[in-house]
Structure 1
Amino acid sequence: MNPRVVPPAATLQAASAGTAACGGRDVVEYEPCVGNQAVADGGVRRRRPPRLQICLGSEPAAFSEARSSLRECLVKWGLEPFADRAVLAAQECLANAVLHGCRGVEPGESEVTLTAECRTSVLWIGVQDPSTELPLRRDAGVTSESGRGLCLVDGLTDGWGTISSTLGKTVWFELDISGRKAAR
């Protein structure tokens, strides 16, 4: 499966726009994923999917809380059958964001943001880092110690891609939840 570079429309806004200051867990919507909540937008009603957003520093130590928060959120949204795949793929994206996306940046001077959205038929998860350099999927050799992250993301998910912005990039993936049963 090749990555798609078509950004989901609801994710184009900056990760910090309309949310509390980064540095901790920020739950924008945290309710069962049984349909999307109607939101008034300048007199026009539109649907906004339940959403979790976590802003982390660029240290791997913050991953444990992010994984736990994501798993907890997915359970509350009724998506527990998808939690293992989603958390593992998110962990790989977080690791790549810190290892590659924050390369050359002093710890504490950059942020990595994990966003999860429960849409009608798709669970969308993105990891934003400050680098504009797009990820490259590599074919790691049998004895290589690294280079398998995007291959894992590709194998665990139903699609993935990147979004470039002035804030850096977001590597995202989707899981098809239309049947609400984990297929794998």
Structure 2
Amino acid sequence: MEEPDAGEQGDQTEITGRQLRHAVRRADLPAVAEVRQLLREHLRMWGVPALVDTAELLTTELVTNALQHTGDGAVVVVGLDPGASAMRLRVEVHDTVTRRPRLRDGAAEDDQSTSGRGLLLVEVLADAWGVHAMGTGKVVWFELDVATA
């Protein structure tokens, strides 16, 4: 998938076939609900409603992380593509890092913290996932097989 600019200002949505691209402004946490609604609508339109719950949960985690831990917005790219052996949903969240995340009291959060478990959910529920660097930011992605939904 094309690497969009995660620092774009303004909400915008582009839909091409079975690909959805939505930009979320910096610190716009209420927009996470809008991303969930767009995802839900399009997965149903694309004929894969069984993926909705898991895709919404994982996308919410990734978008929220991007908005909370970077200084800019995020771009969500969702695609339903035929894979090598099965149809796959791929969700990518592109961000840019303009500030370093702050840790509480200079230490990483421990196992008793109320946050920080989102990527564990992604690891457990996604059929595949990963992170790769992109310029000044990164892309965190996951895939769900349609056949396993």
Residues 1:15 and 2:7 aligned together = no
Looking at structure 2, the residues matched to 158 and 25 of structure 1 have their Cα atoms a distance apart, in angstroms, of 28
Among 58, 73, 81, the alignment partner of 1:111 is 73
Q: TM-score, normalised by structure 2?
A: 0.80
CA drift of 1:54 comes to 0.3
Kindly report which structure 2 residues correspond to 1:143-182, keeping only aligned pairs within 5 A, or say none: 143-177=112-146, 179=147, 182=149
2:104 corresponds to which residue?
Answer: none
3-state secondary structure, aligned to 2:22: strand
CA drift of 1:147 comes to 1.4
3-state secondary structure, aligned to 2:16: coil
Q: TM-score, normalised by structure 1?
A: 0.66
1:55 corresponds to which residue?
Answer: 23
3-state secondary structure, aligned to 2:78: strand
CA drift of 1:111 comes to 2.0
Looking at structure 2, the residues matched to 164 and 25 of structure 1 have their Cα atoms a distance apart, in angstroms, of 23
* Runs of at least 5 residues in structure 2 that lack an aligned partner in the other structure: 101-107
After superposition, give the CA deviation of every residue in 1:72-97 in whole Å (9 maximum; x if it has no partner).
01110011000100010000001111
CA drift of 1:158 comes to 0.5
Aligned length: 134
Kindly report which structure 2 residues correspond to 1:66-105, keeping only aligned pairs within 5 A, or say none: 66-100=35-69, 102=70, 105=71
Q: Percent of pairs identical after alignment? A: 32
CA drift of 1:155 comes to 1.3
CA drift of 1:63 comes to 0.7
Q: Give the structure with the larger helix fraction.
A: 2
Looking at structure 2, the residues matched to 93 and 174 of structure 1 have their Cα atoms a distance apart, in angstroms, of 13
Looking at structure 1, the residues matched to 51 and 59 of structure 2 have their Cα atoms a distance apart, in angstroms, of 12
1:27 corresponds to which residue?
Answer: 14
Matched residue type, 1:27: E
Q: 1:51 to 1:167 in 2, by over 3 A?
A: farther
3-state secondary structure, aligned to 2:94: strand
